[in-house]
Structure 1
Amino acid sequence: MHNPNQPTNEHLFAALPAFIGYYPSEALVLVAVTAADDDKYLIGNVMVQDLTTMAAEPTSSAHAFLQAFGNEPILKVIGIIVTDRPHDLADLPLRLQVNDFTSACRTASRQSIEFAYLPRFSAGATWIGYCHAECRGTLSDPATSASALSLALEGYQIHENRDALAALFARAPESERAGIERLVAAAATAVRAEDRAGDVIALRTRLGRLDSAISNAREGALPHSDEHLADLISAFASYHISMALITVADQTNYAAPAGNLLLHLLRLAPTAEGRQIAAVLAAVSYVRGDGTWARLAAEAINPPANLSSLIMEGLHAGAPHAETASVLLDHAHNARRTLMNSAQT
């Protein structure tokens, strides 16, 4: 019997760009549909692979998918071949590779996948199922989906493509960072000394300035003076401050402003502090359920911080999101409580 809460493919497909953060093209998009407690259906893990990779190695792509989705209770998986390249009109593109992919999944895990072809994520595009040609529909506008509206209300947007989103994580030229680096070097030395000495009064004051900067970012104001930037960036030399900041992921109205501030600081920070800023941004994004932002943040500076590496491993291995996010938040809240409570005694 059809469950009235189950989304149609048209609505599910249209919601995906908001979950991914950009409009995928020339890609294989894999979507896990899971059940919620109220008998509704939810979009679970979403994985995007470059289509050339899947075309060349469909079996390896299937194994990567199984590893990433393996720990999630899945009702069904939908695979979408997104390409507007010319193809044989008598059949859908990459039919043989789709067959190899599904066969590898069934052999390894008995996981069945429904595949569909979609030329592009845009209103009016026709999707066609690989099962039979009669299985088809018309995509509603992803830009006006409920997921896109929710994303906009949280302060985020859907980017044109992955490169446009990745550009947000690019660091400024070294010449632009030079003046700030000199200021950060001295300030970070003081922060590390405070961290080692357990000077919670000083650390709490620094955390307060970061919290204020996030509040200002919520109003659209980001720090610009070298002195202000250096003060905020140097605070990430403290492990306790870095962990405490992850708690913003728990606050809907502050997660997006915090992300904007962290991107701004990451762009201008020296490598050492930038590595920690990237790790905090990756953790905040992961807790929010935004795997794309988490991955881009974790990869922003190489080699990554330990926290970034752990998040990347979790994404790659398909670690249960709710459990991992809960552990991150527990550590973050403990770090914040340590600074706040100790400072008041």
Structure 2
Amino acid sequence: MASNTFGRQLQLTTYGESHGIAIGGIIDGVPAGIQLDLEAIQLELDRRKPGQSAIVTQRKESDIVQFKSGIFEGKTTGMPIGFEIQNADQKSKDYGHIKEVFRPSHADFTYSKKYGERDYRGGGRSSARETANWVVAGALAKQIIPEISIAAYTFSVGELSITDRHKVDMNQIEKNPVRCPNAELAQEMETYIKQIRKEGDTIGGQVKCIINNVPIGLGDPIFEKLHANLAKAMMTINAVKGFEYGSGFSGTTLKGSQHNDEILTNETTKTNYSGGIQGGISNGMPIEFTVAFKPVATLMKAQSSIDESNKQVTVEGKGRHDPCVVPRAIPIVEAMAALVLADAFLINKTNR
């Protein structure tokens, strides 16, 4: 399985399973001399960690990151940065019932068929537990590009969605457990997620991300287009089913005369249907994209499936699971965006 490294110039390689001793990784390619705010990195992990509210999984993990190398007296040395996060609250017995059974729409089936082996405890490496590693790396990547502002928020949960952009208050994002920038809608979403949990079901939603102060010139033509790398980063996140940037699918209803972003003398554009990227290269305008998350596959309801002997069985989820992944996905979306942008930034510096 040689697919554990992300990035070109700035590379993240990770290890670990959901119910193993620890998870962790190595971040390579970080320039020397960057003064790191380690508290800011921990804060990002705290935003992602389980058990933080009544609408997420109640697994209790402190998620304290320990840096093992590549940092001396608070500054990066230019050497590989190793880090580790201990797993503390595994309840592997909760997964004994799926030891030989595949959960519908989960990675259980495909992992087993591809590798002939699988760690059924919490999904092993297919678990979203792995994304804690990405948040560490992404939080560090943000400090490589401090001028760039990356902010994601919950745009929708099920059919509850922000319809008026003028009612978006970015200061509200961290003031409610749903991380929605509309306080009234956030309360509706929270109530709805709690209802879904009581029903033993799950629900999906959308995350919107806005990136400001992006310099012109990030990204490369053909196979390293910035929007393509952002799409790959977002589609890597567990439960993601879609990605669109700029006008996205709605742009297909417009004429070219309506959709083109006219360029002004100050090198900005009159509109931003391009979503801050043209020809795969950032144009200096805000980068805007939306990520769609499916309902979590593990349900507390009986569903039909098969076991490893191809026998028809009934499977029902047990243990602690998110009824909606969207609120905890916010820092993950930001982290993956930061990794892509920091990578593109470092590549630009190297090529000049």
- Give the structure with higher Rg (CA): 1
* Structure-1-length-normalised TM-score: 0.25
Bigger proportion of residues as helix: 1
* Structure-2-length-normalised TM-score: 0.25
Bigger proportion of residues as strand: 2
Q: Tell which has more relative contact order, 1 or 2 (C-alpha 8 A, sep 6+).
A: 2
